[in-house]
A = this chain, B = another copy of it.
Amino acid sequence: MTQSAKTISNFNELLTHLKDSGVRRRLAVVWPEDDHTRDAVDAAFAEGFVEPILVCSAETQASCAGRYATLPAASPEEAAARAVELVREGKADMLMKGFVNTDVLLRAVLNKQTGILPPGNVLTHITAAHIPGYPRLLFFTDAAVIPFPTEAQRRSQLHYLADLCRAFRIECPRIALIHCSEKPDAKHFPYTEDYLAIRQEAAEGRYGRCIVDGPLDLKTSCSPEALRAKHIDSPVGGCADAVILPNIEAGNLFYKAITLFAQAETAAVLQGTEVPVVLPSRGDSVQSKLYSLALAAVGAG
């Protein structure tokens, strides 16, 4: 087994993997008018896995002259439209939000005529988290985009999660469909019935090589001890690589709980679009933004 075939189990290994495999993605950055965004782009460029194209003001264009390719824009809205156009023209492999409201970028991304969400595709948000004490990365969806996923949306989430885990060289990812209990409850939680159907489809190979179980709660998904204590038998075995969270309130709260209280490091990316889209929050650290770009770079492969 070569070094590059090893499972990527934290963000340092992710950066090493990108370096070793010579990945280099053309990154369109939408309106990078703030230091935070430019610092993250600089860091990713220094790591070697991106070739930035800044869609920016004349001022930023002047200050970056010679270092990065640039495209002028007069406003955040125009920058978003131009960056999306770059993707449509095959000139960018991934997109990053700069100093622009999320709504503005999403409008350009989702535009039915000029956008980059293929008809029928589901836009969803995936986070990869390194949680101290948990021996692998934990991928989860959705902390930011889909309020209450439909069954079809959950199927797409599962496809994306399984693909992304495999891009991290997890040969047979273990994925849990999360609910507050292990018992399906069609009356109060209709989606727990969907879980059973999805689990069956996964067993039939519909999502590629992966192990899917649910409904499971977080503890039985992520703790072999908790699984044993509850006398539950699950092929996920308390070693989930990924979890599908039931709704955006649960997803968002989980994201914030692990970063606020468990010192988790995270990376996040939108999936479903023609190329991965990175939407950092203003409060994210430069490192978290760098990891998000690295996640997108692997996913863009």
Contact = CB atoms under 8 A, between A and B. Distances in A.
Interface string A156-198: 0000000000000000000000111100000011000000000
A282 B229 contact: yes
A83 to B, nearest CB: 24
Interface string A134-146: 1000000001100
A249 B252 contact: no
Contact of A257 (B147, B248, B254, B282): B254
Interface in A217-258: 217-219, 222-223, 226, 229-230, 245-254, 256-258
Contacts of A148: 188
Interface stretch (A60-68, A84-92, A260-268): A260-268
Nearest to A246: B249
Given A189-B147, A249-B246, A219 B261 contact: no
B264 A261 contact: yes
A283 interface: yes
A133 interface: yes
A252 B180 contact: yes
Contacts of A262: 257-258, 261-262
When all copies of this chain in the complex are counted, the total is 2
A245 to B, nearest CB: 7
A253 B245 contact: yes
Contacts of A259: 219
29 contacts: A131-B261, A133-B261, A134-B261, A143-B180, A144-B180, A147-B189, A178-B249, A178-B253, A180-B253, A218-B253, A218-B256, A219-B256, A219-B283, A222-B260, A226-B283, A229-B283, A230-B282, A230-B283, A245-B249, A245-B253, A247-B249, A249-B249, A249-B250, A250-B250, A257-B258, A257-B262, A258-B261, A258-B262, A261-B264
- Nearest first, the 7 A-B pairs at minimum CB distance are A180-B252, A261-B262, A218-B256, A249-B250, A246-B249, A262-B262, A147-B188
Interface of A: 131-134, 143-144, 147-148, 178-181, 188-189, 217-219, 222-223, 226, 229-230, 245-254, 256-262, 264, 282-283
